[in-house]
Amino acid sequence: MRPGTDALIDRALAEDAGLGDLTSEAIFAPDHSSRGQIVAKQELVICGLAVATRVFQRVDPGISVKANLADGAAARKGQVVLQLAGPTVALLTAERTALNFLQRLSGIATLSRQFAAAAARAGTGVRIADTRKTTPGWRALEKYAVRCGGCANHRLSLGEHVLIKDNHIAAAGSLGAAVRLARHAAPHTARIEVEVTTLQQVRESLIAGAEVILLDNMTPARIARAVQLIDARALVEVSGEVRLDNLADYALPGVDVISVGALTHSAPAVDLSMRLTPARGQR
Amino acid sequence: MRPGTDALIDRALAEDAGLGDLTSEAIFAPDHSSRGQIVAKQELVICGLAVATRVFQRVDPGISVKANLADGAAARKGQVVLQLAGPTVALLTAERTALNFLQRLSGIATLSRQFAAAAARAGTGVRIADTRKTTPGWRALEKYAVRCGGCANHRLSLGEHVLIKDNHIAAAGSLGAAVRLARHAAPHTARIEVEVTTLQQVRESLIAGAEVILLDNMTPARIARAVQLIDARALVEVSGEVRLDNLADYALPGVDVISVGALTHSAPAVDLSMRLTPARGQR
Amino acid sequence: MRPGTDALIDRALAEDAGLGDLTSEAIFAPDHSSRGQIVAKQELVICGLAVATRVFQRVDPGISVKANLADGAAARKGQVVLQLAGPTVALLTAERTALNFLQRLSGIATLSRQFAAAAARAGTGVRIADTRKTTPGWRALEKYAVRCGGCANHRLSLGEHVLIKDNHIAAAGSLGAAVRLARHAAPHTARIEVEVTTLQQVRESLIAGAEVILLDNMTPARIARAVQLIDARALVEVSGEVRLDNLADYALPGVDVISVGALTHSAPAVDLSMRLTPARGQR
Amino acid sequence: MRPGTDALIDRALAEDAGLGDLTSEAIFAPDHSSRGQIVAKQELVICGLAVATRVFQRVDPGISVKANLADGAAARKGQVVLQLAGPTVALLTAERTALNFLQRLSGIATLSRQFAAAAARAGTGVRIADTRKTTPGWRALEKYAVRCGGCANHRLSLGEHVLIKDNHIAAAGSLGAAVRLARHAAPHTARIEVEVTTLQQVRESLIAGAEVILLDNMTPARIARAVQLIDARALVEVSGEVRLDNLADYALPGVDVISVGALTHSAPAVDLSMRLTPARGQR
Amino acid sequence: MRPGTDALIDRALAEDAGLGDLTSEAIFAPDHSSRGQIVAKQELVICGLAVATRVFQRVDPGISVKANLADGAAARKGQVVLQLAGPTVALLTAERTALNFLQRLSGIATLSRQFAAAAARAGTGVRIADTRKTTPGWRALEKYAVRCGGCANHRLSLGEHVLIKDNHIAAAGSLGAAVRLARHAAPHTARIEVEVTTLQQVRESLIAGAEVILLDNMTPARIARAVQLIDARALVEVSGEVRLDNLADYALPGVDVISVGALTHSAPAVDLSMRLTPARGQR
Amino acid sequence: MRPGTDALIDRALAEDAGLGDLTSEAIFAPDHSSRGQIVAKQELVICGLAVATRVFQRVDPGISVKANLADGAAARKGQVVLQLAGPTVALLTAERTALNFLQRLSGIATLSRQFAAAAARAGTGVRIADTRKTTPGWRALEKYAVRCGGCANHRLSLGEHVLIKDNHIAAAGSLGAAVRLARHAAPHTARIEVEVTTLQQVRESLIAGAEVILLDNMTPARIARAVQLIDARALVEVSGEVRLDNLADYALPGVDVISVGALTHSAPAVDLSMRLTPARGQR
């Protein structure tokens, strides 16, 4: 689990269970214990098992947790992904928070797996990358889920990589000047990327020594022209309204990366639930 | 803005901009200033303007912000929802985080508006409610967005309201015993709700004095029977796979509430972007 | 222990022991170990054992803790409530913070037990409830202590239940309008409560469909009239200067709830202390 | 306001108003504004005005706040201590949290004032000091309230001053050895204090060079003997069951300090409330 | 100021002034105000002015602050870098914390300026980079100070850039396999760097397509050989015991980057102090 | 480990490894495990072992850690100070953060040991004390390291001890008045210290009853005169530009304490590194 996740888990538990679980505390004896199973209610790619484990153990370190799968594995409908045992009130107190983490992260991993498969079908070696359009507070988790689904990460924050856009070019005076300024400021371990919308900008990017050229909102035909121009002198990234159903149109030979904001900002949750059975000898 | 949101904003800014905005700092002079406009790129219900405002002002209190709309208002494609002015580097540093908040909250408000409209078309007075299937860390924000979209909130946490489920009934020995225990423990300001799956349980709930009966995963025909049985002696809530396209089937006369997890867990983000123009007299 | 308590424990430890325990570190060898006993110095109702346990283990996970009682149990003067063993410096570093939690929570539980007993003596079935007049930062803990003492919780926060007061009525235009607005906004799991000071308002509340009527600062005679008027059509809550010595005057037949701010805001601390003895073979 | 108080304020607001103020948001228009007055409902010593101010402004920086008094001033019953103006929903959202801070801190200041007056009546120059028996999370605030009430602070944490107790003496082998070890470890700006229960220990403390001798749970007669023995060679502190009604018995000539845990752990809350009136031109 | 700095500032203020400034509060009237000047007591490169400003304003938003210089500017001995005015107690409460930030960040900037100057004297265009050997909790601040001093940042965290070391090579089976695995996992905006200690590894790195080759702890003669081999097909970084006095030996033509841990982990603090004068009309 | 350190550890891990360890995760299988050794690369005084241990276990509680030394012990070049075993990715993720804590704290302890030795050579019984010139956020840790190195702590914060300086004297009207005000406000466990720059002030301090007199920036000759004047009626502290190479000049008979800011603000880091070897049976 990424360092820094604990703070989000604590916030999540406080908002759902900061006042306890009124119903369960009213009904279960404090020493009532149960076994629980987190079950996939649909076919999905699981992600977030360490986070869910931690949720249960933050509520009660005495809950034992055993994962049947590893993050990134496919689960069939009905498959048990996590096995739990411990005090019943604690299991029920943690249940929804744990599921809320799992359903979102697995939702992203599942959608990413679909995009990765579509890219593989294209057969051009293109990689699908995420964007910075993540849920605030969830950057590290969502970028991790994308990787579990088989896609790639684009830059993880504003702070380590360069992406030069229109405003930067205007302020620098020219695309070349912007690249020079960014090259000077960037760690030597970072490549310089420029976002372009015209073929003229593609040419200027090559002259300026850009290492990645992002073709933004271009038609496939235009992209093909740009790829020709670039001629492997820079990596080619494509972004715009790329969806599962039109990905093949954009995955042209020579396109290295297609970035898709929807991987993180619009992945629907997948369906998981917890089954609870009293421990042996309890009602 | 709900108390407690600042911590999430700070976490979000740290993860995207904790190391600054490498590109913008390399290119813009510290005293370069701009005007910005947050624009709806599609028809949507706006939500999160106070949060977005706060994001910009956490990065630089010197950024001025003016909202053109109030949360819950509909925005047309192309409409400017927020006007900004301030140091360019600060505007660009905050941009993505502010948009990430807006696109998610407005996405939920927009979907909620569609459900509210569908409920209104049904003409039975049914209200659409959310669930606790929210993004961990975002409970208060997402419940607020649901309200901005015109839907209602179900209980906000485990701590203040009672919802009795199968496991509780089994542990208590009977549905009636579970209601009694919960009634004893609950604040007198809370109603007691029981989740049922059979008509027999409906009858037991009425005898036990449940004030809300949740019909879980029943067919419309079964729901109709339950409504007859209940005969207005308790509020009737329906949950299960209710979607925009089948809502009319479930919004039967006598159904008071339909709860829909997708409002918060699967609302797609809406599209917004920031336009930047240098302040007068700057390049 | 409620999720969210850790942050308060850490704050408490930092303020008392963030710089260590100067005296104990100067005198005890790091490997000196002891056994400790937390002892009730007066008759009391114990509350906070899980919190105290956590305090010791945050200072040193190697401290073993065993509770002799459960929260809510009565302890005699001289009774040992918690048994400890571990490094002496850690035990002394945690001692005061653990006791400060216990003395306050047990103080509230002890006072609540006295109120609950007085209510039982009244024989009308009235329940004694707390208020939102809690120590800032301690809401969940103090509400829990009230329950351990045998009293009930009123609403736990501003966010989930409705309590309509004078200002609301004035702004809405009428008591009835206020109830309608609140009913529309509230979760369907919440009852609507109205605070009234006159019999005329009692009548309006009944017409408006209020489910709980709070008679604020009325004399017993006035309360009796109101109970007659209400005639079981709403729950009756009484608040005002109710104390242990006049509770019987207010616990009239038909009064369902008496709310008492002093349970949380003015409960005197009870007296507990820690006895320390060197582990076998140490001085 | 002490650095570090913001975190407690935020925690307090989150627990009461993290989900908003359901009732007020349902009834007041967002642009409805009011004036508010915080009023003393009894004679009291006010404390916490800066904290209360901050509470209102954390909820909405647009609330204007004006204090009529300074912390430590006496307020008459009915006196307005704080004047407020701003959005009505924000005022009501912050009201209870602000009052909860004020009622507790003013309660401590009011009780401290009574002890300070009793000490003054004794006419021996004795100072009344608090202890470390404070509400966890509130150390700095409560120690400040004690000072506002006219009493003195004892050591503020375990980390900067030495207080040698029985266990330390036993572990060191002798009282003298304990003082030597502590003297070596303590900052040279700290005095060494020893807690004693016998006159023999008083003698040993003097020989060891203790600068403060704490006579724990001694009778007044015993204290008088100890004072004679000490003969101004060390400061004399007295602790034990000292109350307002028996303080004169302990405030013997030569006793420099009496420490009283009740100042912070058992001060009853004082009564304050907020009066709200719509701003001109509003209902 | 980088988002995320506030938390460190608050921690710093709490640890120094969480209990207030005992001396100043005892002596200055609450309404006593002063002017202050932060003065360089030696020649230095200033860094941290926004942080210092924020420290003062966290203690009291009523303190006005005016910077005479910008971060990265050289200050002469005796030069005033920051001008302050406000309540005296607040100025003194914040003084040491503000100076502690300034003395450390300016110390790093000052040392970095010396390294940058030495690199410039070498005349080969080499850039001096920092490392991840920063003070825990200070990564963003110290990396910023290095930039203010005129040096460059190496990767800012483990998460966005690749640096392959011995252990990675062993685990992957070969240097080439390690590069392939890393290339697959890394964002396409990141260059792949390999740390090598032999010329054979240099050759393997080139074959594997490494974009940056880090020559670790090689002699200048060895470095010259490596540069020849690499022949501009990869960036050349040098690390090891490079100091100001031997930098010229390592800054050989063809060496692109020299990384120096001492920039952040061993920069001595520079000397700054605050001068305080009572505001007009005060003593 | 001091309570409160966890927050700094978490901040440190988040800044270095919040996005994981890109390189190690790309190359090592999740179940690959290793043994690690933290090795002193130079002669040093070790400090921070509990903190480093905690760093590793925050990343993965499954890492086992065994310290070969205790804080404050001297380590030879090449000596193993900490032995580790656990998942390889976790070991590498935590490595740099753990080392960054150790190198700084051990650097302070090592320098403190040198000062303590120099003081011992002076043979006058003088103690070397630190100051409040610590790294913001690190106060408790650095003060602890100074103690591990054999030096003493000066006051730990502004809140518990008095140090009267020029501004205080001017505001109070006279040195004597300042002492009286401070004496009244200070806990009775605190000594009053006055900073003086002239012999006249020394005389006034004695008359005022100051318990510690700080001779600031005086020459050794002047210090000798002051010591004569003071004649053991107060503790004598010396501060100014005292370094290892001139300490003997200042350690005059009668000087009790010499305070040295450099102990914490300018101690160079010491050199430690982690050696990693695959666990038996792994590559």
| Per-position b or e across C67-77, b if 16+ CB within 10 A of its CB | bebebbbebee
Determine contact, residues F69/F89, Cβ cutoff 8 Å.
no
Determine contact, residues D219/D198, Cβ cutoff 8 Å.
no
Dist. CA E129–CA E142, nearest whole Å: 12
Q: What is the mean pLDDT of residues D201-217?
A: 97
Describe the strand order of the beta sheet including A257-259 as a list of residue ranges. A127-129, A257-259, A235-239, A212-216, A192-196, A162-164
Dist. CA F211–CA D31, nearest whole Å: 60
Q: What is the mean pLDDT of residues D145-164?
A: 96
What pLDDT, on the 0 to 100 scale, is given for residue B119?
97
> Chain A residues with CB inside 8 Å of F58's CB?
3
What pLDDT, on the 0 to 100 scale, is given for residue D212?
98
pLDDT along chain C (283 residues), means of 10: 93 96 95 96 98 97 96 98 97 98 98 98 97 98 98 95 94 95 96 97 98 97 98 97 95 98 97 94 75
Beta bridge partners of D57: none
Q: What is the mean pLDDT of residues A203-229?
A: 97
pLDDT band of residue A282 (cuts 50, 70, 90) is confident
Would you say residue D279 has pLDDT above 80? yes
Specify whether B231 is catalytic. no
- Say if the Cβ atoms of D18 and B7 lie within 8 Å: no
- Say if the Cβ atoms of B22 and A167 lie within 8 Å: no
Interface test with D, best of B2, B141, B148 (most D CBs within 10 A): B2
Low-confidence ranges of chain E (pLDDT < 50): none
Structure tokens that stand for A185 in this block = 């400021």
- Say if the Cβ atoms of E100 and F173 lie within 8 Å: no
Would you say residue B1 has pLDDT above 90? no
Determine contact, residues B13/B58, Cβ cutoff 8 Å.
yes
What pLDDT, on the 0 to 100 scale, is given for residue E214?
98
pTM of structure = 0.96
Give the count of beta carbons closer than 10 Å to the beta carbon of residue A219. Answer: 12
Determine contact, residues E8/F137, Cβ cutoff 8 Å.
yes
The answer, for D15 touching chain A at a CB cutoff of 8 Å, is: yes
> Chain F residues with CB inside 8 Å of B14's CB?
14
pLDDT band of residue F149 (cuts 50, 70, 90) is very high
In tens, the pLDDT along E61-86 reads: 999 999 999 999 999 999 999 999 99
Dist. CA E101–CA B257, nearest whole Å: 57
Catalytic-role residue among F16, F35, F41, F96: F96
Give the count of beta carbons closer than 10 Å to the beta carbon of residue D222. Answer: 15
What pLDDT, on the 0 to 100 scale, is given for residue E277?
94
List alpha helices for F79-136, DSSP H.
88-122
> Chain B residues with CB inside 8 Å of D14's CB?
3-4
Those residues whose C-beta lies under 8 Å from the C-beta of residue C167, and which sit 6 or more positions away, are D34, D88, D92, D276
In tens, the pLDDT along F44-100 reads: 999 999 999 999 999 999 999 999 999 999 999 999 999 999 999 999 999 999 999
Dist. CA B79–CA E219, nearest whole Å: 63
Determine contact, residues E54/E9, Cβ cutoff 8 Å.
yes
Determine contact, residues F160/F185, Cβ cutoff 8 Å.
no
Structure tokens that stand for F251 in this block = 């350690």
The answer, for D156 touching chain E at a CB cutoff of 8 Å, is: yes
Q: What is the mean pLDDT of residues D120-144?
A: 97
* Residue in D with minimal Cα distance to B144: D19
In tens, the pLDDT along B39-58 reads: 999 999 999 999 999 999 99
Dist. CA B225–CA B196, nearest whole Å: 13
User: What backbone torsions phi and psi does residue A212 show, to the nearest 5 degrees?
Assistant: -135, 135
Structure tokens that stand for C131 in this block = 């208020």
Report which residue type is found at E41: K
List alpha helices for chain B, DSSP H.
5-17, 22-27, 49-59, 88-122, 139-148, 166-172, 175-185, 199-208, 220-230, 247-250, 262-265
What pLDDT, on the 0 to 100 scale, is given for residue F34?
96
pLDDT band of residue A83 (cuts 50, 70, 90) is very high
In tens, the pLDDT along F200-242 reads: 999 999 999 999 999 999 999 999 999 999 999 999 999 998 9
Report which residue type is found at F120: A
> Chain F residues with CB inside 8 Å of B12's CB?
none
Specify whether A233 is catalytic. no
What pLDDT, on the 0 to 100 scale, is given for residue A1?
85
Chain E: give the shortest CA distance to residue D231, in Å: 29
Structure tokens that stand for B91 in this block = 């505007």
pLDDT band of residue A281 (cuts 50, 70, 90) is confident
pLDDT band of residue B161 (cuts 50, 70, 90) is very high
Indicate the residue of E11, E99, E171 with minimum beta-carbon distance to F27: E171
- Say if the Cβ atoms of C156 and A19 lie within 8 Å: yes
Would you say residue F281 has pLDDT above 80? no
Give the CA dihedral A183, A188, A191, A197, nearest 10 degrees: -10
Structure tokens that stand for A269 in this block = 């949750």
Dist. CA B148–CA B69, nearest whole Å: 13
| Pairs of residues, one from chain B and one from chain F, whose beta carbons lie less than 8 Å apart | 3
Dist. CA C150–CA E38, nearest whole Å: 60
Would you say residue A280 has pLDDT above 90? no
- Say if the Cβ atoms of D20 and B70 lie within 8 Å: no
Would you say residue A283 has pLDDT above 80? no
Report which residue type is found at F255: V
Dist. CA F178–CA F200, nearest whole Å: 16
Determine the length of chain F: 283
Determine contact, residues F48/F9, Cβ cutoff 8 Å.
no
Would you say residue B81 has pLDDT above 90? yes
The answer, for E27 touching chain F at a CB cutoff of 8 Å, is: yes
Give the count of beta carbons closer than 10 Å to the beta carbon of residue A120. Answer: 14
Chain F: give the shortest CA distance to residue D276, in Å: 38
C-alpha Rg value of chain E to the nearest Å: 23
Determine contact, residues A91/A84, Cβ cutoff 8 Å.
yes
Structure tokens that stand for E92 in this block = 């003194």
| Pairs of residues, one from chain C and one from chain F, whose beta carbons lie less than 8 Å apart | 27
Specify whether D142 is catalytic. no
Which residues of E are designated catalytic? 96, 133, 165, 195, 216
Chain E: give the shortest CA distance to residue A184, in Å: 8
Determine contact, residues B22/A158, Cβ cutoff 8 Å.
yes
Dist. CA B187–CA E88, nearest whole Å: 50
| Pairs of residues, one from chain D and one from chain E, whose beta carbons lie less than 8 Å apart | 27
Long-range residue pairs from A203-211, CB within 8 A, at least 24 positions apart, any chain: A203/A229, A204/A174, A204/A175, A204/A176, A205/A175, A205/A179, A205/A234, A206/A230, A206/A233, A206/A234, A207/A176, A208/A175, A208/A176, A208/A178, A208/A179, A208/A180, A209/A179, A209/A183, A210/A164, A210/A179, A210/A234, A211/A235
The answer, for C6 touching chain A at a CB cutoff of 8 Å, is: yes
**In chain E, what percentage of residues exceed pLDDT 70?**
100
* Residue in F with minimal Cα distance to C97: F3
Give the count of beta carbons closer than 10 Å to the beta carbon of residue F171. Answer: 21
What pLDDT, on the 0 to 100 scale, is given for residue B147?
97
Specify whether B16 is catalytic. no
The answer, for F148 touching chain D at a CB cutoff of 8 Å, is: no
pLDDT band of residue B221 (cuts 50, 70, 90) is very high
pLDDT, mean over chain F: 96
Indicate the residue of F12, F96, F266 with minimum beta-carbon distance to E268: F266
In tens, the pLDDT along F170-208 reads: 999 999 999 999 999 999 999 999 999 999 999 999 999
The answer, for D281 touching chain F at a CB cutoff of 8 Å, is: no
Closest Cα to residue D58, out of D114, D115, D126, D1?
Answer: D1
Burial class (CB in 10 A: 0-12, 13-18, 19+), D51: buried
